[in-house]
Structure 1
Protein backbone atom coordinates (compact mmCIF):
# COMPACT_ATOMS: atom_id res chain seq x y z
CA UNK A 1 0.00 0.00 0.00
CA UNK A 2 2.82 2.41 0.88
CA UNK A 3 4.52 1.57 -2.43
CA UNK A 4 1.40 2.51 -4.38
CA UNK A 5 1.28 5.89 -2.61
CA UNK A 6 4.92 6.64 -3.54
CA UNK A 7 4.30 5.76 -7.22
CA UNK A 8 1.33 8.15 -7.38
CA UNK A 9 3.36 10.94 -5.78
CA UNK A 10 6.19 10.48 -8.30
CA UNK A 11 3.72 10.52 -11.19
CA UNK A 12 2.27 13.79 -9.87
CA UNK A 13 5.70 15.40 -9.73
CA UNK A 14 6.43 14.36 -13.34
CA UNK A 15 3.15 15.91 -14.54
CA UNK A 16 3.83 19.22 -12.70
CA UNK A 17 7.55 19.45 -13.71
CA UNK A 18 7.17 18.48 -17.32
CA UNK A 19 9.22 15.33 -16.82
CA UNK A 20 12.28 17.10 -15.37
CA UNK A 21 14.63 14.80 -13.66
CA UNK A 22 16.48 15.27 -10.41
CA UNK A 23 18.59 18.46 -10.32
CA UNK A 24 16.59 20.19 -13.06
CA UNK A 25 15.69 23.87 -12.45
CA UNK A 26 12.14 24.71 -11.39
CA UNK A 27 9.55 24.62 -14.13
CA UNK A 28 11.72 22.37 -16.29
CA UNK A 29 13.64 25.33 -17.90
CA UNK A 30 16.88 24.44 -19.57
CA UNK A 31 20.04 26.41 -18.69
CA UNK A 32 20.76 29.12 -21.25
CA UNK A 33 17.27 29.13 -22.71
CA UNK A 34 16.79 32.90 -22.25
CA UNK A 35 20.28 33.61 -23.62
CA UNK A 36 19.47 31.68 -26.77
CA UNK A 37 16.40 33.82 -27.35
CA UNK A 38 18.37 37.06 -26.72
CA UNK A 39 21.04 36.16 -29.35
CA UNK A 40 18.53 35.31 -32.02
CA UNK A 41 19.66 36.79 -35.40
CA UNK A 42 17.46 39.37 -37.10
CA UNK A 43 15.16 38.07 -39.74
CA UNK A 44 15.81 38.16 -43.47
CA UNK A 45 13.42 41.06 -44.02
CA UNK A 46 15.25 43.20 -41.48
CA UNK A 47 18.62 42.46 -43.10
CA UNK A 48 17.27 43.29 -46.56
CA UNK A 49 15.81 46.55 -45.27
CA UNK A 50 19.12 47.58 -43.66
CA UNK A 51 21.08 46.68 -46.79
CA UNK A 52 18.73 48.69 -49.01
CA UNK A 53 19.04 51.69 -46.67
CA UNK A 54 22.84 51.56 -46.83
CA UNK A 55 22.82 51.32 -50.62
CA UNK A 56 20.39 54.21 -50.97
CA UNK A 57 22.36 56.45 -48.57
CA UNK A 58 25.65 55.58 -50.28
CA UNK A 59 24.24 56.34 -53.70
CA UNK A 60 22.76 59.61 -52.49
CA UNK A 61 26.07 60.65 -50.89
CA UNK A 62 27.98 59.88 -54.08
CA UNK A 63 25.48 61.83 -56.16
CA UNK A 64 25.61 64.78 -53.74
CA UNK A 65 29.43 64.88 -53.87
CA UNK A 66 29.95 64.31 -57.57
CA UNK A 67 26.73 64.71 -59.49
CA UNK A 68 24.72 67.47 -57.85
CA UNK A 69 25.16 71.25 -58.00
CA UNK A 70 25.16 71.52 -54.21
CA UNK A 71 28.89 70.92 -53.57
CA UNK A 72 30.67 72.46 -56.53
CA UNK A 73 33.51 75.02 -56.71
CA UNK A 74 32.11 78.51 -57.07
CA UNK A 75 35.01 80.57 -55.69
CA UNK A 76 38.81 80.27 -55.39
CA UNK A 77 40.50 82.83 -53.11
CA UNK A 78 44.21 83.65 -52.77
CA UNK A 79 45.84 85.35 -49.78
CA UNK A 80 49.37 86.10 -48.57
CA UNK A 81 50.82 87.34 -51.85
CA UNK A 82 53.12 90.35 -52.03
CA UNK A 83 55.27 90.26 -55.15
CA UNK A 84 53.22 87.53 -56.79
CA UNK A 85 49.82 88.44 -58.18
CA UNK A 86 46.67 86.55 -57.26
CA UNK A 87 45.99 85.80 -60.92
CA UNK A 88 49.49 84.34 -61.27
CA UNK A 89 48.80 81.98 -58.39
CA UNK A 90 45.37 81.03 -59.75
CA UNK A 91 46.84 80.26 -63.17
CA UNK A 92 49.46 77.95 -61.63
CA UNK A 93 46.91 76.31 -59.30
CA UNK A 94 44.66 75.38 -62.23
CA UNK A 95 41.52 74.89 -60.15
CA UNK A 96 38.47 74.94 -62.41
CA UNK A 97 35.21 76.40 -61.22
CA UNK A 98 31.92 74.50 -61.36
CA UNK A 99 33.64 71.16 -60.73
CA UNK A 100 32.77 68.95 -57.73
CA UNK A 101 34.58 70.07 -54.58
CA UNK A 102 35.48 66.45 -53.85
CA UNK A 103 37.55 66.23 -57.06
CA UNK A 104 39.94 69.02 -55.96
CA UNK A 105 43.09 67.45 -54.45
CA UNK A 106 44.71 70.02 -52.08
CA UNK A 107 48.02 68.12 -51.95
CA UNK A 108 48.28 68.07 -55.75
CA UNK A 109 47.52 71.79 -55.98
CA UNK A 110 50.15 72.58 -53.33
CA UNK A 111 52.78 70.52 -55.15
CA UNK A 112 51.94 72.21 -58.45
CA UNK A 113 52.26 75.70 -56.97
CA UNK A 114 55.57 74.91 -55.28
CA UNK A 115 56.99 73.53 -58.54
CA UNK A 116 55.81 76.32 -60.83
CA UNK A 117 56.30 79.34 -58.54
CA UNK A 118 59.67 79.09 -56.72
CA UNK A 119 58.95 82.38 -54.94
CA UNK A 120 56.41 80.52 -52.82
CA UNK A 121 57.93 79.31 -49.57
CA UNK A 122 54.86 77.60 -48.07
CA UNK A 123 51.34 77.06 -49.39
CA UNK A 124 48.15 75.67 -47.86
CA UNK A 125 45.10 74.73 -49.93
CA UNK A 126 41.85 74.03 -48.09
CA UNK A 127 38.35 73.11 -49.20
CA UNK A 128 35.81 75.31 -47.43
CA UNK A 129 32.52 73.54 -47.95
CA UNK A 130 30.22 73.87 -49.73
CA UNK A 131 31.64 76.11 -52.50
CA UNK A 132 35.04 77.75 -51.78
CA UNK A 133 38.71 76.77 -52.19
CA UNK A 134 41.20 78.82 -50.15
CA UNK A 135 44.84 79.16 -51.23
CA UNK A 136 47.16 80.72 -48.62
CA UNK A 137 50.77 81.35 -49.59
CA UNK A 138 53.90 82.66 -47.90
CA UNK A 139 56.51 84.15 -50.20
CA UNK A 140 60.25 83.74 -49.81
CA UNK A 141 62.10 86.84 -48.66
CA UNK A 142 65.48 87.68 -50.21
CA UNK A 143 68.41 87.68 -47.79
CA UNK A 144 70.96 88.72 -50.44
CA UNK A 145 71.17 89.53 -54.13
CA UNK A 146 73.66 87.99 -56.54
CA UNK A 147 74.71 89.91 -59.63
CA UNK A 148 74.25 88.13 -62.94
CA UNK A 149 75.01 90.51 -65.77
CA UNK A 150 72.51 93.32 -65.56
CA UNK A 151 70.09 91.30 -63.42
CA UNK A 152 69.98 90.22 -59.79
CA UNK A 153 69.19 86.79 -58.39
CA UNK A 154 67.21 86.78 -55.17
CA UNK A 155 68.42 84.25 -52.58
CA UNK A 156 66.61 83.53 -49.31
CA UNK A 157 68.31 82.83 -45.98
CA UNK A 158 68.21 79.10 -46.74
CA UNK A 159 70.34 79.60 -49.84
CA UNK A 160 67.45 79.02 -52.29
CA UNK A 161 67.72 81.03 -55.52
CA UNK A 162 64.09 81.74 -56.30
CA UNK A 163 63.82 84.70 -58.69
CA UNK A 164 65.75 86.90 -61.12
CA UNK A 165 64.84 90.59 -61.23
CA UNK A 166 66.04 93.56 -63.22
CA UNK A 167 65.52 96.07 -60.41
CA UNK A 168 66.96 95.13 -57.00
CA UNK A 169 64.51 95.35 -54.11
CA UNK A 170 65.23 97.92 -51.45
CA UNK A 171 67.12 97.13 -48.25
CA UNK A 172 68.57 93.85 -49.52
CA UNK A 173 72.40 93.60 -49.59
CA UNK A 174 74.24 92.72 -52.77
CA UNK A 175 76.98 90.11 -52.65
CA UNK A 176 80.27 91.22 -54.15
CA UNK A 177 82.89 88.55 -54.80
CA UNK A 178 86.55 89.64 -54.81
CA UNK A 179 88.16 86.23 -54.56
CA UNK A 180 90.07 85.95 -57.84
CA UNK A 181 93.43 86.10 -56.06
CA UNK A 182 92.34 84.28 -52.90
CA UNK A 183 93.51 80.74 -52.09
CA UNK A 184 90.00 80.21 -50.71
CA UNK A 185 88.68 80.06 -54.27
CA UNK A 186 90.66 76.90 -55.02
CA UNK A 187 89.99 75.37 -51.64
CA UNK A 188 86.26 76.09 -51.23
CA UNK A 189 85.00 77.08 -54.67
CA UNK A 190 82.91 80.09 -55.66
CA UNK A 191 79.59 78.48 -54.76
CA UNK A 192 80.60 77.75 -51.17
CA UNK A 193 81.99 81.27 -50.77
CA UNK A 194 78.66 82.67 -51.96
CA UNK A 195 76.89 80.42 -49.49
CA UNK A 196 79.03 81.89 -46.70
CA UNK A 197 77.79 85.36 -47.68
CA UNK A 198 74.20 84.10 -47.45
CA UNK A 199 74.90 82.68 -43.99
CA UNK A 200 76.34 86.00 -42.84
CA UNK A 201 73.31 87.92 -44.13
CA UNK A 202 70.99 85.41 -42.46
CA UNK A 203 72.68 85.99 -39.10
CA UNK A 204 72.18 89.78 -39.16
CA UNK A 205 69.50 91.45 -37.11
CA UNK A 206 66.68 92.97 -39.12
CA UNK A 207 67.84 96.54 -38.48
CA UNK A 208 71.45 95.82 -39.51
CA UNK A 209 70.33 93.92 -42.61
CA UNK A 210 68.23 96.90 -43.73
CA UNK A 211 71.30 99.14 -43.42
CA UNK A 212 73.65 96.73 -45.19
CA UNK A 213 74.33 97.64 -48.80
CA UNK A 214 77.04 95.13 -49.70
CA UNK A 215 78.35 91.82 -48.40
CA UNK A 216 81.93 91.79 -49.65
CA UNK A 217 83.64 88.38 -49.81
CA UNK A 218 87.43 88.40 -50.17
CA UNK A 219 88.06 84.93 -48.78
CA UNK A 220 86.38 82.30 -46.60
CA UNK A 221 87.68 84.07 -43.48
CA UNK A 222 87.22 87.64 -44.70
CA UNK A 223 83.64 88.82 -45.15
CA UNK A 224 82.99 92.54 -44.78
CA UNK A 225 79.71 94.44 -44.54
CA UNK A 226 79.36 97.88 -46.05
CA UNK A 227 76.57 99.78 -44.32
CA UNK A 228 74.82 103.08 -44.90
CA UNK A 229 76.55 106.18 -43.57
CA UNK A 230 79.98 104.98 -44.63
CA UNK A 231 80.14 102.35 -41.88
CA UNK A 232 82.06 99.10 -42.26
CA UNK A 233 81.88 95.84 -40.33
CA UNK A 234 84.64 93.25 -40.46
CA UNK A 235 82.71 90.01 -39.92
CA UNK A 236 85.42 87.44 -40.63
CA UNK A 237 84.15 83.96 -41.53
CA UNK A 238 80.52 82.88 -41.51
CA UNK A 239 81.10 80.88 -38.32
CA UNK A 240 79.55 81.92 -34.98
CA UNK A 241 77.03 84.15 -36.68
CA UNK A 242 74.68 84.52 -33.71
CA UNK A 243 77.51 85.58 -31.36
CA UNK A 244 78.84 88.10 -33.90
CA UNK A 245 75.41 89.58 -34.47
CA UNK A 246 74.93 90.01 -30.73
CA UNK A 247 78.38 91.60 -30.34
CA UNK A 248 77.71 93.97 -33.25
CA UNK A 249 74.40 95.13 -31.76
CA UNK A 250 76.13 95.81 -28.43
CA UNK A 251 79.02 97.88 -29.83
CA UNK A 252 76.74 99.81 -32.20
CA UNK A 253 74.59 100.79 -29.24
CA UNK A 254 77.59 101.75 -27.11
CA UNK A 255 79.52 103.57 -29.88
CA UNK A 256 76.92 105.35 -31.96
CA UNK A 257 79.48 107.57 -33.72
CA UNK A 258 81.80 104.73 -34.71
CA UNK A 259 82.39 104.02 -38.38
CA UNK A 260 84.36 100.78 -38.21
CA UNK A 261 83.40 97.65 -36.29
CA UNK A 262 85.35 94.42 -35.98
CA UNK A 263 83.39 91.44 -34.68
CA UNK A 264 85.52 88.73 -36.29
CA UNK A 265 86.32 87.68 -32.71
CA UNK A 266 82.92 88.23 -31.05
CA UNK A 267 84.27 87.89 -27.52
CA UNK A 268 86.61 90.88 -28.13
CA UNK A 269 84.91 93.28 -30.59
CA UNK A 270 86.71 96.46 -31.66
CA UNK A 271 85.46 99.84 -32.90
CA UNK A 272 86.97 102.90 -34.50
CA UNK A 273 85.66 106.34 -35.44
CA UNK A 274 87.77 106.53 -38.61
Structure 2
Protein backbone atom coordinates (compact mmCIF):
# COMPACT_ATOMS: atom_id res chain seq x y z
CA UNK A 1 0.00 0.00 0.00
CA UNK A 2 2.84 2.41 0.84
CA UNK A 3 4.44 1.78 -2.55
CA UNK A 4 1.10 2.60 -4.17
CA UNK A 5 0.87 6.00 -2.52
CA UNK A 6 4.51 6.74 -3.35
CA UNK A 7 3.60 6.64 -7.04
CA UNK A 8 1.95 10.08 -6.71
CA UNK A 9 4.34 12.85 -7.69
CA UNK A 10 4.66 16.09 -5.76
CA UNK A 11 3.02 18.14 -8.48
CA UNK A 12 -0.14 16.03 -8.29
CA UNK A 13 -0.19 16.25 -4.49
CA UNK A 14 0.10 20.03 -4.76
CA UNK A 15 -2.72 20.18 -7.31
CA UNK A 16 -4.99 18.00 -5.16
CA UNK A 17 -4.29 20.23 -2.16
CA UNK A 18 -5.20 23.37 -4.10
CA UNK A 19 -8.39 21.75 -5.37
CA UNK A 20 -9.27 20.83 -1.79
CA UNK A 21 -8.90 24.48 -0.81
CA UNK A 22 -11.14 25.62 -3.68
CA UNK A 23 -13.77 22.98 -2.99
CA UNK A 24 -13.70 23.77 0.72
CA UNK A 25 -14.78 27.31 -0.15
CA UNK A 26 -17.65 25.91 -2.19
CA UNK A 27 -18.59 23.45 0.57
CA UNK A 28 -18.63 26.23 3.12
CA UNK A 29 -20.88 28.28 0.86
CA UNK A 30 -23.24 25.32 0.45
CA UNK A 31 -23.60 24.89 4.18
CA UNK A 32 -24.10 28.62 4.70
CA UNK A 33 -26.63 28.99 1.88
CA UNK A 34 -28.65 26.00 3.09
CA UNK A 35 -28.87 27.13 6.71
CA UNK A 36 -29.41 30.81 5.93
CA UNK A 37 -32.26 29.76 3.63
CA UNK A 38 -34.11 28.21 6.55
CA UNK A 39 -33.23 24.51 6.39
CA UNK A 40 -31.96 22.75 9.55
CA UNK A 41 -28.18 22.17 9.84
CA UNK A 42 -28.48 18.37 9.60
CA UNK A 43 -29.75 18.62 6.01
CA UNK A 44 -26.53 19.88 4.35
CA UNK A 45 -24.39 17.68 6.59
CA UNK A 46 -26.35 14.52 5.77
CA UNK A 47 -26.42 15.36 2.06
CA UNK A 48 -22.67 15.88 1.98
CA UNK A 49 -22.01 12.54 3.62
CA UNK A 50 -24.54 10.48 1.65
CA UNK A 51 -24.73 12.28 -1.71
CA UNK A 52 -21.30 13.92 -1.93
CA UNK A 53 -21.95 15.73 -5.21
CA UNK A 54 -21.69 19.50 -5.06
CA UNK A 55 -23.76 20.29 -8.13
CA UNK A 56 -26.54 17.88 -7.18
CA UNK A 57 -26.59 19.20 -3.62
CA UNK A 58 -26.89 22.81 -4.77
CA UNK A 59 -29.63 21.86 -7.25
CA UNK A 60 -31.67 19.93 -4.68
CA UNK A 61 -31.41 22.63 -2.04
CA UNK A 62 -32.22 25.30 -4.63
CA UNK A 63 -35.44 23.51 -5.53
CA UNK A 64 -36.48 23.20 -1.88
CA UNK A 65 -35.63 26.83 -1.04
CA UNK A 66 -37.62 27.94 -4.09
CA UNK A 67 -40.70 26.16 -2.72
CA UNK A 68 -40.43 22.86 -4.58
CA UNK A 69 -41.16 19.47 -3.09
CA UNK A 70 -38.81 16.72 -2.05
CA UNK A 71 -39.56 14.68 -5.17
CA UNK A 72 -38.60 17.60 -7.43
CA UNK A 73 -35.41 18.15 -5.45
CA UNK A 74 -34.43 14.49 -5.76
CA UNK A 75 -35.17 14.55 -9.48
CA UNK A 76 -32.97 17.62 -9.97
CA UNK A 77 -30.10 15.94 -8.15
CA UNK A 78 -30.49 12.73 -10.14
CA UNK A 79 -30.46 14.61 -13.44
CA UNK A 80 -27.21 16.37 -12.57
CA UNK A 81 -25.61 13.19 -11.25
CA UNK A 82 -26.48 11.28 -14.41
CA UNK A 83 -23.23 12.64 -15.88
CA UNK A 84 -21.34 10.38 -13.46
CA UNK A 85 -22.41 7.28 -15.39
CA UNK A 86 -19.92 7.78 -18.25
CA UNK A 87 -17.37 8.95 -15.67
CA UNK A 88 -17.71 5.57 -13.97
CA UNK A 89 -16.78 3.76 -17.19
CA UNK A 90 -13.75 6.03 -17.60
CA UNK A 91 -12.29 5.22 -14.15
CA UNK A 92 -13.65 1.70 -13.59
CA UNK A 93 -10.12 0.32 -13.33
CA UNK A 94 -9.27 2.51 -10.33
CA UNK A 95 -11.87 1.36 -7.79
CA UNK A 96 -10.69 -2.23 -7.46
CA UNK A 97 -12.42 -5.53 -8.14
CA UNK A 98 -13.86 -6.42 -4.73
CA UNK A 99 -17.12 -5.03 -3.39
CA UNK A 100 -15.52 -3.48 -0.28
CA UNK A 101 -13.39 -1.24 -2.48
CA UNK A 102 -15.86 -0.73 -5.32
CA UNK A 103 -18.69 0.55 -3.10
CA UNK A 104 -16.70 3.36 -1.45
CA UNK A 105 -14.86 3.93 -4.72
CA UNK A 106 -18.11 4.60 -6.58
CA UNK A 107 -19.03 7.13 -3.89
CA UNK A 108 -15.79 9.02 -4.61
CA UNK A 109 -16.36 9.34 -8.37
CA UNK A 110 -16.69 13.06 -9.06
CA UNK A 111 -15.57 15.62 -11.60
CA UNK A 112 -12.27 16.34 -9.89
CA UNK A 113 -11.16 12.77 -9.16
CA UNK A 114 -12.00 11.72 -12.72
CA UNK A 115 -10.10 14.66 -14.18
CA UNK A 116 -7.00 13.79 -12.15
CA UNK A 117 -7.18 10.13 -13.16
CA UNK A 118 -7.43 11.00 -16.85
CA UNK A 119 -4.11 12.82 -16.63
CA UNK A 120 -2.30 9.50 -16.21
CA UNK A 121 -1.84 6.28 -18.17
CA UNK A 122 -0.08 4.05 -15.62
CA UNK A 123 -2.69 1.84 -13.84
CA UNK A 124 -1.02 2.06 -10.41
CA UNK A 125 -0.69 5.82 -10.61
CA UNK A 126 -4.29 6.17 -11.78
CA UNK A 127 -5.47 4.14 -8.80
CA UNK A 128 -3.35 6.06 -6.31
CA UNK A 129 -4.41 9.44 -7.68
CA UNK A 130 -8.08 8.47 -7.64
CA UNK A 131 -8.08 7.42 -3.99
CA UNK A 132 -5.87 10.28 -2.84
CA UNK A 133 -8.04 12.87 -4.55
CA UNK A 134 -11.34 11.26 -3.60
CA UNK A 135 -10.55 10.75 0.08
CA UNK A 136 -8.98 14.19 0.47
CA UNK A 137 -11.93 15.93 -1.15
CA UNK A 138 -14.47 13.88 0.80
CA UNK A 139 -12.81 14.94 4.06
CA UNK A 140 -12.38 18.60 3.14
CA UNK A 141 -15.85 18.92 1.64
CA UNK A 142 -17.65 17.54 4.67
CA UNK A 143 -15.61 19.55 7.17
CA UNK A 144 -16.19 22.74 5.20
CA UNK A 145 -19.94 22.05 4.99
CA UNK A 146 -20.06 21.69 8.78
CA UNK A 147 -18.16 24.97 9.14
CA UNK A 148 -20.52 26.63 6.68
CA UNK A 149 -23.61 25.51 8.55
CA UNK A 150 -22.19 26.96 11.76
CA UNK A 151 -21.47 30.28 10.05
CA UNK A 152 -24.66 30.37 7.97
CA UNK A 153 -26.72 32.22 10.54
CA UNK A 154 -24.18 35.07 10.61
CA UNK A 155 -23.32 35.43 6.92
CA UNK A 156 -26.54 37.04 5.70
CA UNK A 157 -26.72 37.23 1.92
CA UNK A 158 -24.21 34.58 0.77
CA UNK A 159 -24.72 35.54 -2.88
CA UNK A 160 -22.88 38.82 -2.39
CA UNK A 161 -19.64 36.93 -1.61
CA UNK A 162 -19.49 35.32 -5.05
CA UNK A 163 -18.64 31.92 -3.59
CA UNK A 164 -20.66 30.16 -6.30
CA UNK A 165 -18.01 31.12 -8.87
CA UNK A 166 -15.33 28.95 -7.23
CA UNK A 167 -16.86 25.64 -8.32
CA UNK A 168 -17.05 26.29 -12.10
CA UNK A 169 -13.62 27.92 -11.96
CA UNK A 170 -12.15 24.72 -10.51
CA UNK A 171 -13.79 22.56 -13.18
CA UNK A 172 -12.57 24.85 -15.97
CA UNK A 173 -9.01 24.60 -14.69
CA UNK A 174 -9.30 20.82 -14.60
CA UNK A 175 -10.12 20.45 -18.28
CA UNK A 176 -7.56 22.92 -19.61
CA UNK A 177 -4.74 20.35 -20.10
CA UNK A 178 -7.02 18.12 -22.17
CA UNK A 179 -7.85 20.96 -24.54
CA UNK A 180 -4.33 20.81 -25.97
CA UNK A 181 -5.55 17.98 -28.22
CA UNK A 182 -7.39 19.35 -31.29
CA UNK A 183 -9.96 16.54 -31.32
CA UNK A 184 -10.79 16.98 -27.64
CA UNK A 185 -10.98 20.73 -28.15
CA UNK A 186 -13.50 20.43 -30.98
CA UNK A 187 -15.62 17.99 -28.94
CA UNK A 188 -15.56 20.33 -25.93
CA UNK A 189 -16.54 23.37 -27.99
CA UNK A 190 -19.37 21.42 -29.62
CA UNK A 191 -20.66 20.27 -26.24
CA UNK A 192 -20.44 23.79 -24.82
CA UNK A 193 -22.43 25.22 -27.74
CA UNK A 194 -25.11 22.55 -27.28
CA UNK A 195 -25.38 23.26 -23.54
CA UNK A 196 -25.55 27.04 -23.94
CA UNK A 197 -28.16 26.78 -26.72
CA UNK A 198 -30.34 24.43 -24.65
CA UNK A 199 -30.09 26.32 -21.34
CA UNK A 200 -32.95 28.81 -21.99
CA UNK A 201 -35.36 26.03 -22.91
CA UNK A 202 -34.61 23.09 -20.60
CA UNK A 203 -34.53 22.55 -16.82
CA UNK A 204 -31.22 22.75 -14.98
CA UNK A 205 -29.06 19.69 -15.54
CA UNK A 206 -30.46 18.59 -18.89
CA UNK A 207 -28.25 20.95 -20.97
CA UNK A 208 -25.21 19.39 -19.30
CA UNK A 209 -26.34 15.93 -20.35
CA UNK A 210 -27.03 17.10 -23.90
CA UNK A 211 -23.51 18.50 -24.08
CA UNK A 212 -22.30 14.89 -24.18
CA UNK A 213 -23.35 15.10 -27.82
CA UNK A 214 -19.97 16.70 -28.36
CA UNK A 215 -18.49 13.23 -27.99
CA UNK A 216 -19.99 12.41 -31.38
CA UNK A 217 -17.41 14.79 -32.87
CA UNK A 218 -14.62 12.90 -31.12
CA UNK A 219 -16.08 9.58 -32.26
CA UNK A 220 -16.13 10.80 -35.85
CA UNK A 221 -12.48 11.77 -35.59
CA UNK A 222 -11.63 8.32 -34.22
CA UNK A 223 -13.31 6.60 -37.14
CA UNK A 224 -11.46 8.70 -39.71
CA UNK A 225 -8.02 8.56 -38.06
CA UNK A 226 -5.45 6.06 -39.45
CA UNK A 227 -5.33 2.65 -37.78
CA UNK A 228 -3.43 2.82 -34.53
CA UNK A 229 -3.42 6.62 -34.48
CA UNK A 230 -5.12 8.44 -31.62
CA UNK A 231 -7.97 10.87 -32.28
CA UNK A 232 -6.63 14.16 -33.53
CA UNK A 233 -3.36 12.62 -34.79
CA UNK A 234 -4.09 13.76 -38.32
CA UNK A 235 -4.36 17.33 -37.04
CA UNK A 236 -0.78 17.52 -35.96
CA UNK A 237 -1.12 16.48 -32.33
CA UNK A 238 2.08 14.78 -31.16
CA UNK A 239 1.99 11.04 -30.51
CA UNK A 240 2.68 9.51 -27.13
CA UNK A 241 1.69 10.51 -23.63
CA UNK A 242 2.04 14.22 -24.17
CA UNK A 243 -0.45 14.51 -27.03
CA UNK A 244 -3.56 12.82 -25.66
CA UNK A 245 -6.11 14.10 -23.23
CA UNK A 246 -4.43 12.26 -20.42
CA UNK A 247 -1.18 14.15 -20.63
CA UNK A 248 2.06 13.23 -18.95
CA UNK A 249 2.43 12.07 -15.41
CA UNK A 250 3.37 15.52 -14.26
CA UNK A 251 1.54 18.69 -15.25
CA UNK A 252 2.63 22.21 -14.39
CA UNK A 253 0.15 23.82 -12.05
CA UNK A 254 -0.35 26.72 -14.40
CA UNK A 255 -1.81 24.34 -16.95
CA UNK A 256 -3.93 22.27 -14.61
CA UNK A 257 -6.15 23.73 -11.92
TM-score between both structures, scaled by the size of structure 2: 0.24
Higher strand share: 1
Higher relative contact order (CA 8 A, sep 6+): 2
Higher helix share: 2
Higher alpha-carbon Rg: 1
TM-score between both structures, scaled by the size of structure 1: 0.23
